[in-house]
Chains A and B, each alone.
Chain A
Amino acid sequence: MQIKEEYNGTITISREGVEKRVLTWSDHICVGCGICHDICPTKAITMGPLGAIAKGDIDAPKLDIDGNVCVLCGMCACACPFNAIDLKINDKSIKELPQYPKILRNITLSQETCVLCGQCEIVCPQGAIEVERELPPRKNLVLGEISINKDKCVLCGICAEYCPADAIDLIPNDMNSLSPKPIKDIVVDTDACVFCKVCEKACPHDAIEVICYKCPLAKRIEKPKLYTDIKGKTTIDKDLCVTCGWCENICPVNAIKVEKPFEGELIIDEKACNACGACVAICPCNALTFPKPADKAQKVPRLAVNQDLCVLCGACAKSCPVSAITVKRTKINMTETKATAWKKAFEKLLAK
């Protein structure tokens, strides 16, 4: 007896017995590629109207699993390149069980090499990367000395008006006091000061003296090693990551390595494409675009794909209303399996 439950974007199908099997599908991770639908040996999975869902025309789950037809074999969980489906056998995920085949897909990041530039965080189409930086205080970077000769200073505040770093403040006098002076004091925030000497030049009474250690006019000191003070961490959420390769392509120091699940290419039939944009909207990798037409006479924009960023998941092909996209997979990077039925099912994912 299998029980199916649907709650808040997840589907759970469970069966008790000698083995406890629980299949779960999460809408928020699922990109709608339909690999599970293609591989399912019992045809228990049906895809929603992906084109309309991708464009936001309708709000519906990307797929449905028939609880009566599903036999909880777990093939979809092993094939899902995005970990949106999982099967737990006696509370252990099928992906941790060595006897089951796995699609190999990985992303590794070398924290030692990473310079925390954060470009990967910006380009990641899934928002799976987070760069946290702990920078040393700015005063460690801008080195110098500033002093105001209080005997000379007339508290005019011209320096404060010129200061580009808002480092100089005039402190107003307490109006209730007996002293007639409106300004009590002048203070410099040395953490904010950039030692630019603007105040020194502006001061009508030569009351300010600034020494910049890095300025060619002042005495130099040796460049302190500041980079070692920069701490931080780049984290990748492997559940959300689709191994599209944006981060690997963009990383200026080659700190990220991505292993993709499939090899092959995406073929676009330009004549059939009516530029509806469903594929662009659904692509989890942002690999599809409509570049600006070079030829002004061209009426329908031409769809283009960056093969390096495509994971060949096929979500675009499934969402295309005119079947203008074909996914041609030539190789699946996966572990070996002896089970014939499984082997054959995975072979179906390859182009014939």
Chain B
Amino acid sequence: MPEHILSGIKALVAMKMRKEGKLQKEIAEYLNMDRSIVSHYLHGRYPSDRVMKVSEVIVELPVEYGARIIHSLSNDKYIAKKLIKVIYNAKIKIEKDKCLACGACLGCEAISIEGIEVKINENRCVLCGECISKCPMNALKFVEE
């Protein structure tokens, strides 16, 4: 079942990318999928209606919830990141006024403390949002790019 919902989300992402003018080939490469599957999705032959319904609900959730669900559905965190990027166009930002550099968010390979400030390496960040749930000061949050 999780795989089906993930496919549903991929179908929605593929359609969104097509609307933005991306080519089928580009979409397939971006999502690391077979081009024929992308083609199926784009021609309306996507997973069942129920799966699409659930996928649509997930996609419409606020990013901090949606991102966590998408990560829990996917085994590949980099694909999950790509899906989240297209759906929400979001990244994780640190509010410097709130961050105390307490180190509670450490443990993720994208996060490091430099000096007395927490830094996020955006290339390594997979937008899983786990740091947000760990931060005791609510200094981390998703923002639209």
Chain A positions near chain B (C-beta within 8 angstroms): 17-19, 21, 41-42, 71-75, 89, 99-101, 337-342, 344
Top 9 A-B pairs, shortest CB-CB distance = A73-B100, A73-B102, A18-B106, A99-B115, A71-B102, A339-B116, A71-B136, A340-B96, A19-B103
Contact of B100 among A19, A41, A99 (CB under 8 A): A41
* Inter-chain contact A339/B103, CB cutoff 8 Å: no
Number of interface residues of B (CB under 8 A): 18
* Inter-chain contact A18/B99, CB cutoff 8 Å: no
Contact of A341 among B97, B106, B113, B136 (CB under 8 A): B97
Contact flag A75-B97 (CB < 8 Å), given A100-B116, A338-B116, A339-B116: no
Q: Whole-angstrom distance from the CB of A325 to the nearest CB of chain B?
A: 30
Chain B positions near chain A (C-beta within 8 angstroms): 96-104, 106-107, 113, 115-117, 136-137, 139
Identity of the chain A residue whose Cβ is nearest the Cβ of B115 in the assembled complex: A99
Contact of A99 among B97, B102, B103, B116 (CB under 8 A): B116
* Inter-chain contact B137/A339, CB cutoff 8 Å: no
16 residue pairs bridging A and B, Cβ less than 8 Å apart = A17-B106, A19-B106, A71-B102, A72-B104, A74-B102, A75-B100, A339-B96, A339-B117, A340-B97, A341-B97, A341-B98, A341-B99, A341-B101, A341-B139, A342-B100, A342-B101
Where chain A touches its partner, the secondary structure class is loop
Q: How far is the CA of A314 from the CA of B112 in the complex (A)?
A: 37
* Inter-chain contact A338/B103, CB cutoff 8 Å: no
* Inter-chain contact B100/A341, CB cutoff 8 Å: yes
> Could you say which residues of chain A place their CB within 8 Å of the CB of B116?
99-101, 337-339, 342
> Could you say which residues of chain B place their CB within 8 Å of the CB of A71?
100, 102, 104, 136-137
Contact flag A339-B104 (CB < 8 Å), given A42-B136, A71-B136: no
Q: Whole-angstrom distance from the CB of A145 to the nearest CB of chain B?
A: 72
* Inter-chain contact A339/B101, CB cutoff 8 Å: yes
Q: Whole-angstrom distance from the CB of A9 to the nearest CB of chain B?
A: 26
> Could you say which residues of chain B place their CB within 8 Å of the CB of A99?
115-116
Contact of B96 among A42, A73, A74, A341 (CB under 8 A): A341
Q: How far is the CA of A186 from the CA of B60 in the complex (A)?
A: 112
Q: How far is the CA of A168 from the CA of B134 in the complex (A)?
A: 83
Q: Whole-angstrom distance from the CB of A98 to the nearest CB of chain B?
A: 9
Q: A71-B104, A339-B117 are in contact. List 13 more A-B contacts (CB 8 A).
A: A17-B103, A18-B103, A19-B113, A21-B103, A42-B136, A71-B102, A72-B103, A73-B102, A99-B115, A101-B116, A338-B115, A340-B96, A342-B100
